[in-house]
Amino acid sequence: MSKQAPSSPNAESEAAAATEDGPEESGDAEQSPVTTGSESVIRALENEGIEAAFGVQGGAIMPIYDALYHSDIRHITMAHEQGAAHAADAFSVVRNEPGVCLATSGPGATNLVTGIADANMDSDGLLALTGQVPADMVGSDAFQETDTTGVTAPITKHNYFASDADTVGDTVGEALALAGEGRPGPTLVDLPKDVSLDETDVQPGPAEPPETTRPQYVPDEEDVQVAAEAIEAAERPLLLFGGGVIKADATDEARKFAYEYEIPVVTTMPGIGSFPEDDDLCLSWAGMHGTGYANMAITHTDLLIAVGTRFDDRLTGGIDTFAPEAEVVHIDIDPAEISKNIHADYPLIGDAGIVLDQLDDAIDETPEAEEWREQCLTWKEEYPMDYATPDDEPLKPQFVVEILDEATDDDTIVTSGVGQHQMWAAQYWDFTEPRTWVSSHGLGTMGYGLPAAIGARIAAEDDQDVVCIDGDGSFLMTIQELSVAVREELDITVAVLNNEYIGMVRQWQDAFFEGRRMAAEYNWCPEFDKLAEAFGARGWRVDEYDEVADAVEEALDYDGPSVIDFHIDPAENVYPMVPSGGANGKFALTEDQL
């Protein structure tokens, strides 16, 4: 196992484009020389076209903020560092480029940890800049000292301890480049205060990722040929699009491939939006709460063509029963994902778009899978995603999601927290565009939704709507960020699906703990509509079906942060459900099937 120099066919043209734009965009002639380490840090960000950064001030990071004072980079002060990390993370999902967050040493840095871990699990490009006590005090248990590089080493692609003002700019550039390169992920640069304050006149050079981490973009030709033959011969082929399709900006290639060979598509949750969910070929997303038809297709396919996915346990359920009859073609840019969880019969290491194009070139015959496609359509009819709305029961959350979806355009960005509301949002919103579903998948971070909506709002086009579908428990975890949305006049709409429970826990307690609802009741939450008004946002409370559409329209129309507190049926559960470690094909449709 060794590493290679980049072989991206785009590298040259990108470089050429950068040179052309260079003098105009970065305005080299106008740039004043840097005088300190902190100015060099900010210059490195400017050189890479960073437009926004999210953070919280504090003692050890003050020199960096002082350098930001003179910069055009838009800084959004967040209420809590966790919010800064999530906002930068969501920014990176929407823009498909690394987001930047800042925090001071000690508690500032440790507050970032959840957000960095979240970005790490979801392969989101993120650069965290943390202040540190002066280098000569490191190790002395100084005020607000934490071993930040030690704490974050397991949850970053790599982290750096800056030790010299002359090189700190290049270090930041390298960290930024590494965050976005190949399989994206978080990086961190720890900046001792004296390094930031030290004088230097060294301008940071062009940002280059480290030599030792260069990914392989182009797969081995022979491997492609063998995989192509397997696809031609398949009788029940199934495409599985993961978040990697979107990260690789390969949505066009992926869609073209599916249409050309008429292969049904299942996505993972981070892969939502890689393929239009309203298309006949699309079986929506698979896994624990995925659609019945997606899970049936995975269970019965004879060739699973997986692109940019790491076969998370929430997708696979029990390994022994996952796609039990399928050979697996696994396309991924990270060699370590090949055969990590699911053995790959046809591993293809490379960039998703390049590999799919090459496969396309190598395939001569469309697999004959008419019967299989019919079968997939039959499953769609057999296991419809639907819900009852009996008159004698409170408002159903699925209904709220559908009304929101209908009231907004296809390019609307949806963020969510974690729990039942997240599943209903993912199930009942029809996503058709990539980078419109922004959620915490791998880490499952409650509280992700609101700061993510802030980051998404900053990253999005002005005419794109940003909707946060949140739960009562999730919303309360990061609700302080509402003050940021108000201060920055951000047009976001928060729809709280409030069932007065930490609902997914309640659902599991009912199913697996004989209904002992220990610490699951959340009827002590504040009234979110009033709290929103107290923050300076607009707030509504909705209890009835006939109030939903009006409140949604008013909230979407309001040019600023708005919160609708939907009081939904507390008894509603998320189905289908594959119990933890169970077989995908044995999903339960009701509680008595668990």
Partner 1 sequence: MSSEDSDSSDDLPKHGLQGPKPEERPHPEGRRNAQGIRIDPAAEAEHEPRRAVLSALVENDPGVLSRIAGLFSRRQFNIESLTVGPTTVEDHSRITMVIEEPDPGIDQAEKQLAKLKPVISVGELDDDAVRTELVLLKVEGDEPDKVHAVTEMYDGQTLDAGPKTITVQLTGDEQEIDDAIDAFRQFGIIEIARTGYTALARGDQATVPGEKPGTANEPTKPKNTQ
Q: HEC profile for 401-446?
A: HHHHHHHCCCCCEEEECCCHHHHHHHHHCCCCCCCCEECCCCCCCC
Tell me the closest approach of the beta carbon of residue 485 to partner 1, in angstroms: 30
- Residue among 292 and 561 whose Cβ is closer to partner 1: 292
Contact positions with partner 1 (CB under 8 A) in 143-182: 149-150, 153-154, 157-158, 161, 178
Does 196 sit near partner 1 (CB under 8 A)? no
Residue 185 to residues 120, 459, 468, 508: CA-CA distances in angstroms? 5, 18, 23, 32
Task: Please confirm, yes or no, whether 593 is among the known catalytic residues.
Answer: no
- Residue among 1 and 29 whose Cβ is closer to partner 1: 1
> Which listed residue (14, 20, 25, 143) is catalytic?
143
Task: Please confirm, yes or no, whether 144 is among the known catalytic residues.
Answer: yes
Binds partner 1 (CB under 8 A): choice among 107, 134, 210, 444: 210
Does 13 sit near partner 1 (CB under 8 A)? no
Q: Rounded CA gap, 350 and 253, in Å?
A: 14
- Residue among 396 and 457 whose Cβ is closer to partner 1: 396
Does 25 sit near partner 1 (CB under 8 A)? no
Tell me the closest approach of the beta carbon of residue 224 to partner 1, in angstroms: 13
Task: Please confirm, yes or no, whether 446 is among the known catalytic residues.
Answer: no
CB under 8 A, 24+ apart: contacts of 49-53: 49/25, 50/100, 50/176, 52/76, 52/91, 52/99, 52/100, 52/458, 52/459, 53/88, 53/100, 53/101, 53/102
Q: Are 266 and 285 in contact (CB under 8 A)?
A: yes
Binds partner 1 (CB under 8 A): choice among 51, 66, 229, 402: 402
Does 300 sit near partner 1 (CB under 8 A)? yes
Q: Rounded CA gap, 323 and 319, in Å?
A: 9
Task: Please confirm, yes or no, whether 229 is among the known catalytic residues.
Answer: no
DSSP structure string for 345-381: SEEEES-HHHHHHHHHHH--S----HHHHHHHHHHHH
Does 553 sit near partner 1 (CB under 8 A)? no
Candidate ranges 19-27, 45-53, 391-399, 484-492; the one touching partner 1 (CB under 8 A) = 391-399
DSSP-assigned letter for residue 202? P
Task: Please confirm, yes or no, whether 81 is among the known catalytic residues.
Answer: yes
- Residue among 507 and 562 whose Cβ is closer to partner 1: 507
**C-alpha dihedral sign at 210, 248, 313, 437:** positive
Binds partner 1 (CB under 8 A): choice among 430, 491, 500, 554: 430
Q: Which residues fall within 8 angstroms of residue 519, CB to CB, at 6 or more apart?
A: 502, 505
Q: Are 411 and 467 in contact (CB under 8 A)?
A: no
If residue 131 lies in a helix (H) or strand (E), which one and from where to where? strand 126-132
Question: Structure tokens of 103?
Answer: 């925090």
Tell me the closest approach of the beta carbon of residue 318 to partner 1, in angstroms: 9
- Residue among 316 and 562 whose Cβ is closer to partner 1: 316
DSSP structure string for 261-284: HT--EEE-STTTTSS-TTSTTEEE
> Which listed residue (57, 144, 203, 225) is catalytic?
144
Cis peptide before 576 (omega within 30 of 0): yes
Candidate ranges 87-95, 486-494, 536-544, 571-579; the one touching partner 1 (CB under 8 A) = 571-579
Q: Rounded CA gap, 582 and 343, in Å?
A: 19
Tell me the closest approach of the beta carbon of residue 225 to partner 1, in angstroms: 16
- Residue among 430 and 533 whose Cβ is closer to partner 1: 430
Does 546 sit near partner 1 (CB under 8 A)? no
> Which listed residue (39, 157, 181, 193) is catalytic?
193
Tell me the closest approach of the beta carbon of residue 457 to partner 1, in angstroms: 28
Contact positions with partner 1 (CB under 8 A) in 431-490: none
- Residue among 296 and 490 whose Cβ is closer to partner 1: 296
Contact positions with partner 1 (CB under 8 A) in 312-371: 319-322, 324-327, 334-336, 338-343, 345, 349
Specify burial of residue 453 (Cβ count, 10 A radius: 0-12, 13-18, 19+).
Answer: buried
User: How many residues sit in the footprint of partner 1 (CB under 8 A)?
Assistant: 73
Does 260 sit near partner 1 (CB under 8 A)? no
Active site residues: 81, 143-144, 193, 504
